[in-house]
Amino acid sequence: MAARVLIVEDDPAQRRILEEMVKRFGFEPVSVEGGQKGLDMLAGASGGLIELVILDLIMPGMDGLEFLERMTAVRGHVPVVVETAQGSIETVIKAMRAGADDFVVKPISPERLRVSINNLLKVNALTEEVKRLNKKVGGALTFDDLIASSPAMANVMRLGRRAAQSSIPILIEGESGVGKEMIARAIHGESERRGFEALRY
């Protein structure tokens, strides 16, 4: 599934240009016309699927800097590329201090934007994997840390959450390599057992 990129830009023409660029790079664009609508999108049901934000700094109403300041409370950290017509050092420093990860200057070079998006998505994926592995090692892995989209795995995770609420012994069966250890660790991490040393999986 292609990474979903949120475009927050008040200029309709610039939005369309960015949408086409993002599609050409192989990602799925979702665009909104202002900062508040961008926050609403991140806070909504599909907000968890947004993997990166392209943000205009100069917008009426809520500008890009205010958006950056409020975004963390809404969704936590999402990589952000800010776009600005002002290539000044001061503008870039303000945006970076507010939480931006990279910047591009209008008119935007497609190659520069493509490299920025790819790099940030790779870094973010590695960061999330490190967090997940740290949780796994510390016995704090939960079902929220597992990535699964099939109906069968959704059912396994639902049963696993129920098992985590129980204090009875749990037997997990399945072929080699299907993820029994990860399910066992997630049950352990979500149950009252998490305060004790994990059993051998």
Q: Map out the domains of the chain with their CATH numbers.
A: 4-134 (3.40.50.2300), 138-195 (no CATH)
Confidence of residue 197 (pLDDT cuts 50, 70, 90): very low
77 contacts 104 by C-beta, under 8 angstroms: no
- Rounded-to-integer distance, Cα 79 and Cα 167, Å: 40
Query: What is the band of 184 on the pLDDT scale with cuts at 50, 70, 90?
Result: confident
- 23 pLDDT exceeds 70? yes
Q: What is the pLDDT of residue 103?
A: 94
- Quote the CA–CA distance of 136 and 169 in Å, as a whole number: 20
Q: Which of 20, 12, 60 is nearest to 36 (CA)?
A: 60
Q: What percent of the chain has pLDDT over 70?
A: 86
Number of residues that this document lists for the chain: 201
Per-residue model confidence (pLDDT) at position 26: 96
Paired tokens of 168: 């009875």
Q: Is 155 left (phi over 0), alpha (psi -120 to 50) or beta?
A: alpha
| pLDDT tens figures, 58-111 | 999 999 999 999 998 888 889 999 998 866 778 888 899 999 999 999 999 999
- H or E, element range at 56: strand 50-56
Q: What is the C-alpha separation between 42 and 124, in angstroms, rounded?
A: 17
CA distance linking residue 165 with residue 150, whole number of Å: 23
Q: Across the chain, which distance is largest between two alpha carbons, in Å?
A: 62
How far is the C-alpha of 142 from the C-alpha of 189, rounded, in Å? 5
Which phi and psi angles does 44 have, rounded to 5°? -75, 180
Residue with token string 């305060």 = 195
The reported pLDDT for the residue numbered 135 is: 58
Q: Using the predicted structure, report yes or no on whether residue 34 has a pLDDT greater than 90.
A: yes
Query: What is residue 198's predicted lDDT score, i.e. its pLDDT?
Result: 46
Per DSSP, what are the bridge partners of residue 8?
32, 55
